[in-house]
């Protein structure tokens, strides 16, 4: 016992497989990197969207940017609190879809799911296109290869996420930290300066074409709400967090809300104080960066960091959509393959589907950001509104202590997000938002038809009901063979072990070879009869298929055991005959037989 030398009772431990345990899941900080970069990077275009709308009423109208941002920040606070509640009520993820399914019915849940699917795909496309455009601004030689840059970035993100969301979080940790530090540095340094350090871009004449009325303010508000996209991703991806999942996800949501609010308000104060208006060749964020840092190396570094953050913001969708698709598959709204997970906690089929959809969209628009912007943010605001309304219904039904203030918060948020959604739809409908109006109902129809199929299949299979007793019957095992060898010995031995009647089957085109095989079979005498089928047309598959169909006519259970040679090294696989695999495929599609492939592994 002295000095720890006494023998200790060993505790048996079962080693974890690769991908098991909490190490492959997210901490709160890793969750901020993996699931929040979309929302955080939106400060690069959210405040600018407000300024671009307000300048239509003249530069004097830009003073309204700060009040509008404060209203958006208030909505952000409501959404942050709301999604913390969603995380607690629905720890299995799903966000607006889970809330709507429980409180608003099937139709509302399908609307939420379809809207989120559209938004996630658009988030990937917009983020990559915006990042490629910013990169081309710094390196003009890439201006004619935007689509290629987008697809390369998409392939990189897909490969990282196929490894697991924890790996993607570690990959994104440094860019996320650099972006947060860069934006907060712009705010702090800019506020400490009495006037901007430098001015960039070319001045543009401002011609007031509208009055600063309610409609323009609503339009500026709805455009600025694009800064809120991505707030819901954490609630959708709760299963990706380490235990305790709910607390870690809520901490991440609160960190996201706090950082985003500080950055939005800080940048808007600088816009109002320095009278920042749109200028040619630069973004509003670039103007604020030059005003804080000047035009030296910090200016270029901050712009490159913003470009990287915009491009990598697409990773938020890779953390949220596969989880949502897995929930839809569990509810029989999507193919069940989307519910399969690899050894690492990652839904690889969902990741692959998202990558393919985003690639198709990028190819369709040629990697042009401006063609994607009118489609953006509408889907997420539909989800916002449904989740808020669903929580109001939840509190009204459950009536826990303090439910009235919660319901008021969620109700206010539902009204504000519904107004923003309607304004977005009406102002951007002809510019491309009609595509979303068509895509969402089509997705809802797809979910409904898939659910109907699974319902019919479940009824035909008798799922949920106790079936009758199994029917005993005779069985026949057919072993296709070409010649007598150790492969034939292994196949016949395996067939005899299965029980029932066993017959060997051989197809020959040459009568002399068929007779020679019959003599050798009698000499070997394995205790199993041999049937030889002549095939003058030199066909191998069709005679066996016909033989199996004829053998199964009397109701016997027919099993076809196909021996297949497998070399030790894959480089030799193409040297082996693939007729066994072709035969297995034909039998599966054209007969009701049980088809088994027996591997015979070589030493070379």
**What residues contact residue 445 under an 8 Å CB cut-off, 6+ apart?**
none
Q: What percent of the chain has pLDDT over 90?
A: 25
Checking if the pLDDT of 342 tops 80, the result is no
Residue 600: enclosing H or E segment and its boundaries?
A: strand 594-601
User: Which pLDDT score, from 0 to 100, does residue 163 have?
Assistant: 76
Cα separation, 50 vs 276, whole angstroms: 12
pLDDT in tens, 377-414: 788 888 889 988 998 998 898 888 888 988 888 888 88
Give the model's pLDDT for residue 259. 94
Q: Nearest-CA neighbor of 97 among 290, 296, 237, 264?
A: 237
Q: Which residue has the tokens 């959404």?
A: 79
- Beta-ladder partners of 560: 478, 595
Nearest to 562 by CA among 504, 486, 476, 475: 504
Structure confidence by residue, pLDDT tens digits, 208-258: 667 778 888 888 887 788 788 878 888 877 887 888 888 999 999 999 999
List Cα–Cα distances, 113 to 333, 356, 441, 487, 522, in angstroms.
Answer: 10, 19, 11, 53, 66
Question: In the prediction, which pLDDT does 423 show?
Answer: 81
Alpha-helical regions (H) of 26-105? 28-35, 37-41, 46-54, 65-89, 96-103
Per-residue confidence at 489, pLDDT binned at 50, 70, 90? very high
The whole-number pLDDT of residue 169 equals 67
69 CB-near residues (< 8 Å, 6+ apart): 47, 50, 224, 264, 265, 268
Q: What does 3-16 look like in DSSP terms, one character per residue?
A: GG-S---PPP-PPP
Rounded Cα distance, 289 and 69, in Å? 19
Q: What is the mean pLDDT of the chain?
A: 83
Residue 505, helix vs strand vs coil: strand
**Residues linked to residue 506 through DSSP beta bridges, in sequence order:** 532
Share above pLDDT 70 across residues of the chain, in percent, rounded to a whole number: 92
pLDDT tens track for 36-59: 888 888 888 788 888 888 888 877
Torsion of CA 342, 346, 347, 348, to 10 degrees: -70
Q: Tell me the per-residue pLDDT of 414-435, one tens digit each, with 9 for 90 and over.
A: 888 888 888 878 877 877 778 8
3-state helix, strand, coil in the chain (%, to 5): 70, 5, 25
């Amino acid at each position: 016992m002295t000095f720890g030398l006494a023998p200790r009772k060993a505790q048996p431990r079962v080693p974890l497989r690769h991908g098991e345990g909490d190490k492959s899941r997210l901490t709160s900080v890793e969750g901020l990197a993996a699931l929040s970069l979309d929302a955080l990077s939106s400060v690069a275009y959210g405040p600018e969207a407000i300024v671009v709308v307000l300048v239509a009423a003249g530069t004097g109208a830009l003073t309204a940017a700060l009040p509008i941002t404060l209203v958006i920040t208030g909505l952000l606070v409501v959404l942050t609190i709301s999604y913390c509640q969603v995380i607690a009520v629905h720890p299995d993820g799903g966000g607006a879809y889970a809330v709507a399914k429980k409180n608003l019915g099937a139709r509302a849940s399908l609307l939420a799911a379809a809207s989120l699917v559209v938004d996630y795909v658009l988030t990937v496309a917009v983020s990559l296109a915006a990042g490629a455009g910013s990169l081309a601004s710094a390196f003009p030689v890439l201006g004619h290869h935007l689509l290629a840059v987008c697809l390369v970035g998409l392939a990189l993100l897909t490969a990282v996420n196929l490894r697991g969301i924890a790996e993607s979080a570690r990959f994104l940790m440094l860019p996320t930290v650099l972006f947060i530090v860069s934006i907060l540095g712009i705010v702090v340094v800019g506020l400490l300066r009495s006037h901007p350090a430098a001015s960039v871009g070319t001045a543009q004449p401002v011609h007031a074409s509208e009055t600063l009325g309610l409609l323009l303010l609503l339009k500026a508000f709805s455009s600025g709400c694009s800064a809120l996209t991505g707030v819901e991703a954490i609630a959708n991806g709760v299963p990706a967090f380490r235990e305790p999942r709910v607390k870690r996800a809520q901490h991440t949501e609160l960190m996201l809300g706090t950082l985003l609010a500080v950055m939005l308000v800080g940048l808007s104060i600088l816009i109002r104080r320095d009278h920042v208006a749109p200028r040619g060749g630069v973004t509003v964020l670039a103007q604020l960066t030059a005003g804080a840092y000047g035009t030296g190396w910090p200016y270029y570094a901050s712009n490159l960091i913003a470009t990287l953050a915009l491009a990598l913001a697409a990773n938020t969708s890779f953390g949220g959509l596969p989880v949502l698709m897995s929930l839809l598959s569990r509810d029989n709204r999507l193919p069940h393959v989307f519910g399969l997970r690899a050894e690492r906690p990652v839904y690889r089929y969902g990741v692959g589907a998202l990558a393919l959809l985003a690639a198709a969209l990028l190819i369709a628009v040629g990697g042009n950001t401006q063609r994607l912007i009118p489609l953006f943010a509408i889907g997420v605001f539909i989800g916002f509104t449904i989740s808020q309304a669903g929580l109001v219904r939840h509190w009204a039904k459950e009536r826990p202590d303090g439910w009235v203030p919660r319901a008021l918060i969620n109700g206010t948020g539902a009204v504000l997000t519904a107004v923003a959604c309607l304004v977005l739809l009406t102002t951007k409908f002809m510019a491309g938002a009609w595509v979303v109006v068509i895509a969402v109902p089509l997705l809802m129809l797809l979910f409904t038809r898939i659910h109907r199929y699974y319902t019919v299949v479940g009824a035909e299979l008798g799922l949920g009901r106790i079936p009758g007793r199994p029917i005993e019957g005779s069985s026949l095992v057919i072993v296709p063979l070409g010649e007598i060898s150790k492969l034939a010995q292994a196949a016949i031995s395996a067939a005899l072990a299965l029980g029932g009647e066993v017959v060997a089957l051989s197809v020959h085109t040459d009568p002399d070879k068929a007779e020679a095989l019959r003599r050798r079979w009698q000499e070997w005498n394995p205790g199993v009869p041999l049937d030889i089928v002549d095939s003058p047309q030199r066909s191998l598959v069709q005679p066996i298929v016909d033989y199996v169909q004829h053998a199964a006519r009397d109701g016997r259970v027919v099993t076809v055991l196909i021996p297949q040679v497998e070399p030790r090294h894959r480089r030799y696989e193409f040297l082996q005959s693939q007729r066994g695999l072709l035969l297995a495929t034909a039998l599966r599609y054209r007969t009701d037989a049980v088809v088994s492939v027996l591997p015979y592994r070589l030493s070379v």
